[in-house]
Amino acid sequence: MKGKKERKNASQAVVISERVPKEITDILKNDREEHVKEYTEQEDHPGRKNIYILLSRTGTVPSKVIRFLKPMPYAHASIAFDENLSEMYSFARKRVHYPFYCGLIDEDIDKGVFGRKKTTKCLVLRLPVTAEEYSRVHDTVESFKADRRKYGYNYLGVFAARVHISIERKYNYFCTQFVDKVLQMSGINLFGKKSGLVTPEDYRKSDKLEHIYEGLLVNYRNWLSAFSLPAEEKTLRKSEKKEMRAQRRLLRIRQKEQQKHHKEQQRELRDQQRSIRTELRDQQLDQQMELIEQQRAEQHSLIREQVRELREKQKEIDRKQLERQQEREYLAPPSEKKDDSATAL
């Protein structure tokens, strides 16, 4: 039994030596115990998660320009949600051959600029967070991805950071600004300053970030595969990911239901406001009609009184005329009366 185990261990060592370059085979033996110890500590704290930040130097023209503005070992930063760096995001060129067509992209260390530049040097950093902080960071990145087309590169901010001026725009970021902004929006403040002033050197020197790997990016996954975890632990991680996805789906469903309920409440309020407005208009119209009818009744009463007064005045005038005529006839001389009688005959 012992001979079989020794042969098996020897075969594993041969496989590791074939996959990993010779310059790091000595380091693997010393680091293996630390890696296993760190993972067992994570098992003791099931609520603990890790976010990974990749600092890199590709040697491209933009990378050289950034390092010329401020000399530092690395010129680019990315944020990832697993140690394999399979889900990683940053602000960089969208096409390999167009360095100035930049925005929010999904990065892959085997494709794009990283795939072309085999001599890319990198530093992988780990940020321990709680499960809630991890989910908040992931949701923040998802919100960025939802409006991916709106975002562009903050060229002016890169040059302004050289003179310690922070230029922050709603839909424009550069790589280190994006990573720090995502963390700040999730309630994680690493540096206590504006995101537009954060550089790769700040991440490298931060005490809150753990240094995991430094070397060629091409060798990182080979280095990581030497510390591959047992199948049971991998299944645990997969089950945790499935649970997280299910929780996110439930949250999205709840958010949609809340939005629908909110819209229905808004519609009901609008209908109530409309009904109240119509009632007020009807009341105002009724009041106006009553006022008009009152005014008409008052006018009719005034006209009737005026007509009565005119009739009474006319009667008085007629009466006075009759009295005057009678007086004239009574005071007239007898000759006039005879003439009047003759004319009458």
pLDDT in tens, 266-300: 999 999 999 898 888 888 888 888 889 888 888 88
Backbone angles phi, psi at 153, to 5 degrees: -90, 140
Q: How many CA atoms lie within 13 A of 274 on its CB side?
A: 6
Neighbouring-strand partners of residue 130? 48
Q: What string of pLDDT tens digits covers the 345 residues of the chain?
A: 444 444 444 444 433 334 444 444 454 445 544 544 444 444 445 568 899 999 998 877 666 777 666 778 898 999 999 988 988 999 988 887 777 778 898 998 888 888 888 888 999 999 999 999 999 999 999 999 998 889 998 888 888 888 888 888 888 999 999 999 999 999 999 998 999 899 889 999 999 999 999 999 988 988 887 765 555 565 666 677 788 888 888 999 999 999 999 999 999 999 999 989 888 888 888 888 888 988 888 888 899 898 888 888 888 888 888 888 888 777 776 665 555 555 555
SS3 call for 238 = helix
Q: Kindly state the tokens that stand for 39.
A: 């993972």
**Looking at the domain covering 47-228, what would its CATH class be?**
alpha beta
Confidence (pLDDT) at 101: 79
CA dihedral 71, 77, 82, 86 (to 10 degrees): -110
User: With 0-12 CB in 10 A as exposed, 13-18 as middle and 19+ as buried, what is 277?
Assistant: exposed
